[in-house]
Structure 1
Amino acid sequence: MTLDHAAAAAAAGGAGERRLVTRLEIAQAAGVHGAAVSNWMRRHPDFPDPVRTVPADLFAAEEVAEWLDGRKIQRDERREGETAGVTYGRRFRLTVGLADVHSDVKVAPDMFAEAIKADLWKSLEPGFTESQDRTMFQEMIMALVCVQAIAPKQWARIADTHSPDLFAHVWSALPAVDGIRPELLDRIVRDGWWQARFRTGVKVLQRWVQPGTSAPQERVGRRLTAAAAFDHLLDRFAQARKSSDDEYLTPHGVARLMVLLADPGPEDRVYNPCCGSGEIVAAVLDHQRDNGANRSLARNVSGHALASRAWRLAVMNTAVHGCPLDLGGQPPDDLKVVDVRGGPYDVVLTNPPFTMADWRSSTEIASSGWPYGEPPRHNAHFAWLQLIAAALAPAGRAVAVMPSSTTSVATSKNRQIRAAMVEQGVVRCIIELPKQMFRETASPLSLWVLGRPQQRPDHGVLLIDAKKATEPAGRTHRILTSAGSRHIVDLYHAWSEAGGSPIQPTGDLAAVAVTLERLREHNHDLTPSTYLRPPAPDVTSRSSSLSALRAELRQLDDAAVAADLDLDHLLDRLQPWNP
């Protein structure tokens, strides 16, 4: 009897029926190795005795759950959604379908789905770790999930065949002609190691993933939907590789928050100029489906990837989410180009590369052509922000991921651009996120919510400190909570509808609506903590001459400007060192 059978029996059992589980089922439901249960039985005399020993030891599930209620899950063993204080009893109950007796502890609502995800990755991780080309291994697995989702008949042929010659034919089911690297097909056909990993991947996905794309929920019975599996594996592969040479994966919670803030309607023209693996575009498609839009209306959604690896994954991602999009042809892997093509757009959503030294625009822009100032050459942050804002329709809105440093950068060029964007009413909201939100960088991030310039005398900016809208998920990662994300969206929309009036934060959010006059006093600093902390006490001596203080302040300001100019000059001249 497996975990699946236990869950089914738990669901089907009557009110008075005693539920019995084996040692293996206890281990699977609690998310531990089988040896752990044997150790518990040997080391703890109070562990429940089996109520039946033929044909195997069978334990009363309720008794096991009560015993596991006293064992907290250590921090490094928690799954995503499990917080401090959660017990193995809680995980066990939710997995096998027993009543929850600890409602004060917050965990993921579907622990059975979390258990499936954990087992899915545990089965695939060895192949990734052993592979000499880990990027290619990821693409092979993601392509298999894509075929599962969009071509169940071809998937059945893959599952039944033992002939490598069929592989190339089945890959034709993928949504793009160049959707798989030719060298991957060659390795699967000719290399025994890759053939073995291919067949292992097929068996694992047969076991844990439901073919097809019709189901909107996360799992169907004892399997994950293909979309849920694809999303989860994107995250786990990013976590395992720790860094990328091109575009970083946008976490599902962050991508969904960006979409909810922009709220694209079915007729809105939506664009993602750095679509990465397609996670933001997929979130747009899910948002439209959740709001009853016909999938054919996704013709208004488009994107562009900077790297061929990301492009292949993005094309597959949109297909798995039920609406394959035309994301252009395979890109030339040029990570130095900053461009927002076409427009005007109703919505722009993007997570561009954070550092692009010696970047260039696809169409050269003269110094006077930048609407808010020529960006420095040592990073492209304010080049992206300006091009995104310029690509918006009159009522357009944009959300972009940026390093938190952009909200308070001190170099003169970036500070002047930020000030000009604020003065013109382009910056609507800044949402500060904590460290460890992304798998491939531990740096703190911020979301910039932008719009077209506003012609009104006082246009303030909403600044939100969203650190408490997140929770830990393991030792080195944080995720947005559902409640935290909802509070951010509700707060921003309420502030927007009120015309920028003062607001009252909900939940654990810290937020402040800052007037343009106050922003000027702080050199257009957009860091929430600058305005949320108590004002500094006045330590000025009464005997100080006000004119002398003003003169000293002017001297310091002149010195700071000179230093900024020198720094910008040096950074623009700095070229990456090539061995």
Structure 2
Amino acid sequence: MTDSATYPTPDTEEEDLGEDLGGLDDLLASLRSEETPAPKRGRGRAKKEAPAKDFKAVLWASADKLRAQMDAAEYKHLVLGLIYTQENVFWVPADARWESLRARAKQPDIGQLIDQALVAIENENLPLRGKLDKRFGAAQLEPGRLGELVDLISTIGFADEHRSGDVLGEVYEYFLGQFASAEGKKGGQFYMPAHVVKTLVAVLAPHKGRIYDPCCGSGGMFVQSEKFIQAHGGKRDDASIYGQESNPTTWRLAAMNLPTPLPETSSPIRRWVYGRPPVGNANYAWLQHMLWKLRPGGEAGVVLANGSMSSNQSGEGQIREAMVRGDVVEVMVALPGQLFLNTQIPVCLWFLTNDKTQRGRDRRSETLFIDARQMGTMKTQVERVLTDEDIAKIGGTVHAWRGDGEVSDAYEDVAGFCYSANLGEIEKNGFVLTPGRYVGAADLEDDGEVFEDKMKRLTTLLKQQQEQGARLDAAIARNLALLGFGAE
């Protein structure tokens, strides 16, 4: 089986990165004090040790400590290396372990010691040869600053869900979000949030076979696929992984995230079966590249900007029509906005296959449309996340429609959410694949009130509210006049 997670690269406006945070020396002292348990006094209870700091908060503090001493785009390299040395899952020689480095953090040659530790880790773990970023000895920092950074990273608390997930990817996402104007947006880099990757995996259901990601980033697709396999009673060795990544930093993250070798794949000349993609827009290049990589009966999941579903510029509409007529578009999912930290562009999921008779019932000449734009929960004022329930609903709907045995429920069209369309219906819509065109509006519950009665009630209510508004306006005007601000 072949799957893919690809990344949109839109042009975006630079964002305000916020005010500089000060008092980091005080913060470090505070963190150190919290690590020291209070002494016992008499018969009183010992004070509980404070919990480890949230790792993202500590990361911001660590970046801020270096703010005046190196370019913002360089922050992440030092922090990622330290995070990996503390958290990694490979065999680590005793002298290279975090406890040993932390004990020597105040030595003037701590940078060289960290580099030597990374070399030792590479020597003991062949898959990591040449992958770790050894730049600590050459870092131009004030004396003692790197040691303070080591102490600060030591306060990071990795919960179980972080240890079993794409921790380095989360760290990278954080730095891309905070320092986008320094590097991320210029490089077109967009870390794929874990909940979006989980949605891809939930639909693809990669129990076994080959998993391919041509834009693998930090390896999040592989991490989530491994978790899916293990959650369904399988073993890690049930699937083999193949990844490509042009960015050397994120390629290192993928190698560090995965405790097995990450084979590289060669990519011969693409074969544009459905039409040559326009220059300057890679949407239909990615889609056709993934189709070309599929084995017979394979499936692919691709994340693209919403424009890919409807654009007719530079021949894209003709390519999309050819793909639909070729019966390779299986499922389209529209996702909500605000899923990415460093871009607000809304995205969609394309699920492709070269054989709709495999993995379920015969689905030829059918395409499933899911409108998930109302899903998700606002984690912050600017970031939305898909919950496990949201992901299960999307994945379960697809599996029920396929009839592949992943779920026991029977599929039904749900107004406002999902609809199974045939080729004729898609043709009537001009081969536009936006789910909203097909799912319609959600059904409203009938409250049993006769329409005429409802209109009389609402009209009366509106008149009452207008009269109340007029009284309030008059009261405000009188109060302003008493204060000497009345209308002349």
Task: Using structure 1 for the length normalisation, give the TM-score.
Answer: 0.58
On the 8 A contact 2:338/2:384 being kept in 1, the answer is: yes
Match of 1:490 among 389, 396, 403: 396
Matches within 5 A, 1:349-388: 363-364=268-269, 369-388=271-290
Relative contact order, higher structure (CA 8 A, sep 6+): 2
Confirm or deny that 1:235 pairs with 2:195: no
- Shift in Å at residue 259 of structure 1? 1.3
State the AA in 2 paired with 1:425: D
Of 325, 348, 360 in structure 1, the residue corresponding to residue 261 of structure 2 is 325
Cα deviation, 1:273-322, whole Å, max 9, x if unaligned, reads: 11112222222222233334333445x1120101112212221222xxxx
Matched, 1:521 2:428: yes
2: distance between equivalents of 1:197 and 1:405? 46
Are 1:176 and 2:128 matched, yes or no? yes
TM-score, structure 2 normalization: 0.68
Deviations 1:430-485 (A, max 9, x none): 11112221123211100101101558895221111112221212122111112111
Question: Which residue, out of 285, 304, 307, partners 2:244?
Answer: 304
1:128 touches 1:138 (CA, 8 Å); kept in 2?
no
**Residue 203 of structure 1 aligns with which residue?**
151
Classify the secondary structure of the residue corresponding to 2:385.
strand
Q: Does the 8 A contact of 1:390 with 1:452 survive in 2?
A: no
Given the superposition, is the C-alpha separation of residues 461 and 226 from structure 1 closer, same or farther in structure 2, using an over 3 Å criterion? closer
C-alpha change, 1:297 and 1:458, in structure 2 (3 Å) is closer
Matched-pair contact (CA < 8 Å) for 1:315–1:327: no
- The 1:516/1:131 distance shift into structure 2, 3 A limit, reads farther
Partner Cα separation in structure 1 for residue 262 and residue 298 of structure 2: 22
CA distance in 1, matches of 2:314, 2:169: 41
The offset of 1:424, in angstroms, is 1.6
In structure 1, stretches of 5+ residues that fail to align are 1-33, 35-54, 56-95, 97-111, 219-223, 329-340, 343-361, 535-579
Q: Which residue of 2 aligns with 1:473?
A: 379
Mark the CA change 1:228 to 1:394 in structure 2 (over 3 Å): closer, same or farther: closer
Could you tell me which residue of structure 1 aligns to residue 225 of structure 2? 284
Amino acid at match of 1:372: Y
Higher alpha-carbon deviation: 143-152 or 255-264 = 143-152
Aligned twin of 1:265: 207
For 1:129 and 1:257, the matched residues in 2 are separated by 36
- Match in the other structure for 2:114: 167
Task: Give the CA deviation at 1:396.
Answer: 0.7
What's the offset of the Cα at 1:392?
0.8
- Tell me, in whole angstroms, the C-alpha distance in 2 between the residues paired with 1:443 and 1:383: 20
How does 1:432-443 map onto structure 2 within 5 Å? 432-443=334-345
CA RMSD, 1 decimal: 3.3
Change in CA separation of 1:498 and 1:176 when aligned onto 2, cut-off 3 Å: closer
Identity of aligned residues (%): 24
1:503 positional shift = 2.3
- Note closer, same or farther for the CA distance 1:373–1:231 as it changes in structure 2 (3 Å cut): closer
Are residues 1:396 and 2:348 paired? Answer: no
Q: Which amino acid aligns with 2:260?
A: P
Cα 1:476–1:390, aligned 2, differ >3 Å: closer, same or farther? same
Deviations 1:8-44 (A, max 9, x none): xxxxxxxxxxxxxxxxxxxxxxxxxx9xxxxxxxxxx
> 2 CA distance for matches of 1:274 and 1:229?
18
Structure 1 match to 2:46 = none
Cα distance change on mapping 1:445 and 1:392 into 2, 3 Å: same
SS in 1 for 2:295: strand
Describe the shift of the 1:152–1:255 C-alpha distance in structure 2 as closer, same or farther (beyond 3 A). Answer: farther
Please list every run of at least 4 consecutive aligned residues from structure 1 whose deviation after the TM superposition is greater than 6 angstroms.
none
Partners of 1:261 and 1:489 within 8 A in 2: yes
Match of 1:421 among 307, 317, 323: 323
Q: How many Å apart are 1:240 and its aligned residue?
A: 0.8
Q: Is the 8 A contact 1:435 1:443 kept in 2?
A: yes
Name 2:354's counterpart in structure 1: 452
Is residue 62–residue 153 contact of structure 2 (8 Å, CA) maintained in 1? no
Q: Which amino acid aligns with 2:141?
A: G
Are residues 1:530 and 2:466 paired? Answer: no
Per-residue deviation, residues 404-435 of structure 1 (Å, max 9, x unmatched)? 00101122511111111111211111111122
Equivalent residue for 2:412, pick from 503, 509, 524: 503
